[in-house]
Amino acid sequence: MFGYRVPAPDEAMLISGGRRGLGGAPFRVVTGHGKFVLPVFRKTRFLTLAMCEAEVTETCVTRQGIALNVRAVIAFKVGNDTESIINAGQRFLSDQDQMSVLTGRIFAGHLRSIIGSMTVEEIVTERQKLAAEVLDTSKIEMAKIGLIVDSLQIQSIDDGDTGYIEAMSAPHKAAIQRQAQIAQAQATQASAEAQQVAARNQAEYARQTAVVKAEYSAEVDRAQAQAAQAGPLAQAHAQQEVLAAQTELAQRQAELRQQQLVAEIVKPAEAEAQRIKLLAIAEADRMKIQAEAAASYDRVALDRMLIDQLPQIVKEAAGGLAGANVNVLNGADGLGEIAAGLVSQGLTILDSVRGNLGNADNDGRRPGDDVKNLLQLPAKKDDKKDDGPVDLD
């Protein structure tokens, strides 16, 4: 738009003409936004707010009187506040390159002043301290011209041909060399030890390798020997298994044949023997029953015959007394006693016959034979002389 001006992000727009700026400044400061500026009646200029750099190379004399060539780099810029922009604009707006020149001169002076109060050892060993002191002493002076310093770096310190810094570093160099030599010796010793350890490890590895190879070779030989014996051993095992199977089969066949013989011969023979035994037992029982029945029948018949012959026995006994000269002393009672004695004698004969039945069976004689013998009573003795009276008492 015609008359409307906008500063860049790293610039400050200074508008002169019209009313004055802050603090009676001859211009107004605009940053970060645009502003409508009347042509012809207003004039616009721009001041950079970007980072600038100034390099300082200065010969400084230390407190010891030793000249040192010091090279430093300063990074600075115009402050962001309105006051700093006004101060820098009034001094550098027409020639902004003068900011680097003036800044270098300011820091060169402060650098000579501070190095003059220090020794070479302090400067060399405490560069950060030197930079901090230079920044502190130049801060107020730089603020007056609207500039702020972001950093100060001491890049190099050189004593020229005096050799002071080199001489100062000689003990350190010697110590460093000594330490380097010690370190080298230690490294050499460590390397030798490492080589010895490596040699021992290699020897041990070679020994283990040889042992493993020997074991492997022995295993291979054993495997080959076993493989060579595997065929005959397998054949022998197979034959042994065949023999065992044949033996088992023969045993089974023998057991089967034995069972067949038992079933065909022994069992029928035992059955026949049992049958014969049972028949014999049955025949013996039958004969015993028959014998017992016959004996029982003979006893019954004998008893019956004895009972039937008892009167005849008594009669015969009485007949034997007929021709005897018997004196009866008691009269009727005596005759009764004689009769009772005859009956008793007949019963005694009967009991004797019964007792002899068992002996007759054992002797093979029939029970009737004894009866017949008993019944053969003696004949009457007619011609027997009378021996006198018989006492029946």
pLDDT digits (tens, 9 = 90+) for 2-37: 678 888 888 888 888 777 666 667 788 888 887 777
Q: Is the pLDDT of residue 393 over 50?
A: no
Q: What percent of the chain has pLDDT over 90?
A: 9
Please name the amino acid found at residue 125: T
In the prediction, which pLDDT does 388 show?
A: 47
Name the DSSP letter for residue 326. B
In the prediction, which pLDDT does 73 show?
A: 93
Per-residue pLDDT band at 139 (split at 50, 70, 90): confident
In the prediction, which pLDDT does 233 show?
A: 77
Domains and CATH numbers, the chain: 51-169 (3.30.479.30), 289-375 (no CATH)
Helix (H) or strand (E) holding 275: helix 267-320
CA distances from 218 to 118, 215, 227 (A): 84, 5, 14
CA angle 110, 112, 118 (to 5 degrees): 105
For the record, the structure tokens of 166 come out as 């080199």
Residue 75 forms beta bridges with which residues? 53, 151
Asked if 113 and 133 touch (Cβ cutoff 8 Å), the reply is no
Q: What is the pLDDT of residues 157-186, one digit of tens each?
A: 888 778 888 787 788 778 888 888 898 899
For the record, the structure tokens of 388 come out as 């006198």
Mean predicted lDDT score pLDDT of the chain:
78
Q: Is the pLDDT of residue 120 over 70?
A: yes
**What's the average model confidence in pLDDT over 121-137?**
87
Q: How many CB atoms lie within 10 A of CB 230?
A: 11
Q: How many helices (H) and strands (E) does the chain have?
A: 9, 8
Q: What is the pTM for the complete model shown?
A: 0.42
**What's the average model confidence in pLDDT over 353-374?**
53
CA distances from 339 to 159, 313, 314, 315, 368 (A): 199, 13, 9, 10, 27
Query: The dihedral of CA 324, 325, 329, 331: what is its sign?
Result: positive
| CB < 8 Å & 24+ apart, contacts of 298-304 | 298/357, 298/366, 298/367, 298/368, 299/354, 299/357, 299/367, 301/368, 302/353, 302/354, 302/357, 302/367, 302/368, 302/371, 303/354
Strands 27-30 and 52-61: unpaired
Q: Is the pLDDT of residue 324 over 60?
A: no
Asked if 14 and 88 touch (Cβ cutoff 8 Å), the reply is no
223-227, 352-356, 357-361, 382-386: segment of lowest average pLDDT: 382-386
CA 389 to the chain's CA centroid: 133
Q: What is the pLDDT of residues 259-313, one digit of tens each?
A: 888 888 877 888 888 888 888 887 888 888 877 777 777 666 666 766 676 666 6
